[in-house]
Structure 1
């Protein structure tokens, strides 16, 4: 049987190399140009995520929220780690906190200008979560937990999700903000705001998960 599979693979490879790909005719503009024109933002990826497939993006945010809740449920009956070991040598602390500073600045940049350049809410949230993780591996878990509770990060995370769902639902109903001038910071209608909300959600959710796993499983 394996010779049949090998022959089929060779034939498929020959087909891809020899037979030309069908080219659609009758289109005067490219798909990317059409997305940019309709969404009002130069970053076509953001236009697709927050406009053309906004319905899918809503559920992606909800799935991420459910994953965080699942982490709490999974570790609810676990016994907290008695002692969490962090990096204590000065070079590691300096490098980790320098990296956290850089990634946090990148996170803010991606959240604010994600609709104008490569990036966006999800990338900004990942960068923010990375910054928090770098701080967590060099700081006491009690201190990180205290900051998390003092700034009510869990509440802000839930509020950002609710606002995102409401604004996305309003957009799906056909009510849109003015597009503004293409290429400027205030452009793309509601897309920049959705970018910022997703960045907040992903960063704060990552913070919660990092604290949770460090508390119950130690430094990963």
Structure 2
């Protein structure tokens, strides 16, 4: 079988050299331009995610919520880990917290301006979750859980999902905010709002998953 795999790899390499990808034609460009005009945002990816395939995006958010609930359900009957593995040397702690600060700032930028430049709610949520994970591996687990409970992060996570579904439903039935000027920060109708809601949901969901894995597995 290894010769079959090697032959397939060589054939694919020859295909890429002999038959280059065709150049984008005017029809494809007109599709991109029409998406920008309909959505009112320069980032066509955000326009597609939150308009053209909004149904898919709704269920992606729901699936992510179910995944976090599944983590809680599967680990609920297990005994918490006695050993928690974290960074203990000062250089690693400083670098991790510096990285967390940078990741948090990038997450905020992606959430607020994701409809104008590469980025968006999911990328912002991942950046926020990364920041939380870096803080978690350099701080006390009890302190992290106390903050999670104090700010009612679990409640805000569920509220963000419900608000996202309501706003998405308004978009689907044709009730939209004014698009504003193309390229302005306040533009694109509901798209910036949906970006921020997705960022909050993903970041808080990642926070919940991080705490669960640290509590029951001892590490991320």
Deviates more, 1:71-80 or 1:200-209: 71-80
Assess, with a 3 A threshold, how the Cα gap between structure 1 residues 168 and 93 changes in structure 2: closer, same or farther: same
Residue matched to 1:163: 163
Structure 1 position 6, deviation (Å) = 4.5
Q: Quick one: distance in 2 between partners of 1:68 and 1:92?
A: 29
TM-score by length of 1: 0.90
Distance in 2, matches of 1:201 and 1:138, equals: 23
Q: CA, structure 1 residues 115+23, in 2 after alignment: closer, same or farther (shift >3 Å)?
A: closer
Unpaired runs of at least 5, structure 2: none
The alpha-carbon distance between structure 1 residues 92 and 21, as it changes in their structure 2 partners (threshold 3 A), is closer
Aligned length: 219
Report Cα offsets for 1:96-115 as digits up to 9, x if no partner: 11111111011100000000
Task: Note the aligned Cα RMSD (angstroms).
Answer: 2.5
Please list every run of at least 4 consecutive aligned residues from structure 1 whose deviation after the TM superposition is greater than 3 angstroms. Answer: 9-25
Find the aligned partners of 1:17 and 1:30 in 2 and give their Cα distance: 29
Residue in 2 aligned with 1:144?
144
Unaligned runs of 5+ in 1: none
What's the offset of the Cα at 1:16? 8.7
Give TM-score, length-normalised by structure 2: 0.90
The DSSP-based 3-state class of the residue aligned with 1:127 is helix
Give CA-to-partner distance per residue, 1:63-86, whole Å, 9 cap, x none.
000000000111011100123132
Measure how far apart 1:29 and its partner are.
4.6
Q: CA deviation at 1:18?
A: 4.8
Paired residue secondary structure (1:30): helix
